Amino acid sequence: MRMVPSTIAIVSDCDDTLAPDTTAQLLEHFGVPGKQFYAEQSSRFVREGYDPPLAYMNAMLELARDGGPLAALTRETMTQVARQLKFFPGVPAIFHELEAEIQAKYGEYGIKLEEYVITGGLADLISASTLGEVVDRVWGCNFAYDGSGRIVGIKNVVSFTEKTRFLFDIEKGLAKGGGRGPYDVNRPMDADERPVPIKNMVYLGDGPSDIPCMSIISRFKGYVIGILSDHEPYKTWALGFGRRANVTVPAEFGREQHGYRQLHQAVVQIAENIKRDIEYHRQTGGDTPRY
């Protein structure tokens, strides 16, 4: 008898969704103005055909060489800056609160909430922040470090469509397992065996780089929350064009704010749907959920 998947996942971008650009915050700690960096150093690589994540990372590597302004950037200093990162109102407390509420109201059904971040920003930076302590996993770009912890190369990047890979890691239950190979996500798995079906996901994103993920979530009946951009109106227009988001909200997640209410409602509605399915299966002799 088919078992009812009972895990809900909030999947979110980070920069300009949960926080002001975290890479810019890191740069500004070392005296490099973020807006100028993207307009000048990073955009030069973009004009040469680099994907935006590769562009900003190569630009940072340039600034780290030969006594440049990022010469003191190490894994250790990145961790120190991470502790000072600023997030939008209500982040990361909202994840604590929603997880506790789902456990209290639906724990008897085995329903639980998990949170993931998929970002084109620096995973090491975000993982070491207060947000990284709350969510189940952060995927993003990473530098390679030398023996003294200085950045010396690019280890991996997460570009636009690359983000979608991690949706399937979550769906197949691979997100939290250690020792996984890079190709494990491509192994066949029947749809009814997947622990976190996409319809149980809520995706938060702010602009064009999130559109591939938004398209997949929407196609499989998940829920998409777009984050409004005050300083880049085009990003909000791109969300609305083609109806990529079910709803758009300001980047404010305090308890009395619109972002909190919409995310809360989405999570609770999914929980109610799962509860209904579990009760139906119990009444008809089905198995209780295993996830």
Distance CA 227, CA 8 (A): 20
Residue 181: predicted pLDDT: 65
58 is a domain residue: no
Q: Could you tell me the residue range of the domain that residue 200 belongs to?
A: 7-20+87-142+155-283
Whole-model pTM: value is 0.92
CATH number of the domain to which 200 belongs: 3.40.50.1000
DSSP string, 51-89: -HHHHHHHHHHHHHSTT-TTTT-BHHHHHHHHTT----T
DSSP string, 130-189: HHHHHSSEEEEEEEEE-TTSBEEEEEE---TTHHHHHHHHHHTT-SS-SS--TTGGGS--
Residue 14: predicted pLDDT: 97
36 is a domain residue: no
| pLDDT tens track for 20-31 | 999 999 999 999
Contact by Cβ (8 Å): 122, 138: no
45 is a domain residue: no
| pLDDT tens track for 207-245 | 888 999 999 999 999 999 999 877 666 666 666 655 678
Long-range contacts of 103-107 (CB under 8 A, 24+ apart): 105/271, 106/271, 106/274, 106/275
62 is a domain residue: no
Distance CA 200, CA 147 (A): 42
102 is a domain residue: yes
Distance CA 49, CA 43 (A): 10
67 is a domain residue: no
219 is a domain residue: yes
Q: List the single range of 110-124, 175-189, 191-205 with lowest mean pLDDT.
A: 175-189
Q: Model confidence at 51, in pLDDT bands (50, 70, 90)?
A: very high
127 is a domain residue: yes
Residue 205: predicted pLDDT: 94
Report the number of distinct structural domains present in the chain: 1
Distance CA 128, CA 78 (A): 8
